[in-house]
Amino acid sequence: MAVRTLLSKKTLTTVLRNDPKPIGAAITQSRGLHVFTLPDLAYDYGALEPVISGEIMQIHHQKHHQTYITNYNKALEQLHDSVAKADSLTTVKLQNAIKFNGGGHINHSIFWKNLAPVREGGGEPPKEALGWAIDTNFGSLEALIQKVNAEGAALQGSGWVWLALDKELKRLVVETTANQDPLVTKGTSLVPLLGIDVWEHAYYLQYKNVRPDYLKNIWKVINWKYASEVYENAF
Site membership for other proteins, residue 95 (CB under 8 A) = no
156: contact with other proteins by CB under 8 A:
yes
Query: At its nearest, how many Å lie between other proteins and the CB of residue 157?
Result: 4
Q: Of these, 126, 159, 182, 192, which contacts other proteins (CB under 8 A)? A: 159
208 counts as binding other proteins under rule CB under 8 A: yes
Residue closer to other proteins (CB basis): 82 or 158: 158
Residues binding other proteins: what is the number (CB under 8 A)? 14
15, 7 contact by CB (below 8 A): yes
44 labeled part of a ligand binding site: no
Query: Quick one: which of 55, 201, 220, 234 contacts other proteins (CB under 8 A)?
Result: 201
- Candidates 17-25, 50-58, 113-121, 175-183; binding stretch for other proteins (CB under 8 A): 175-183
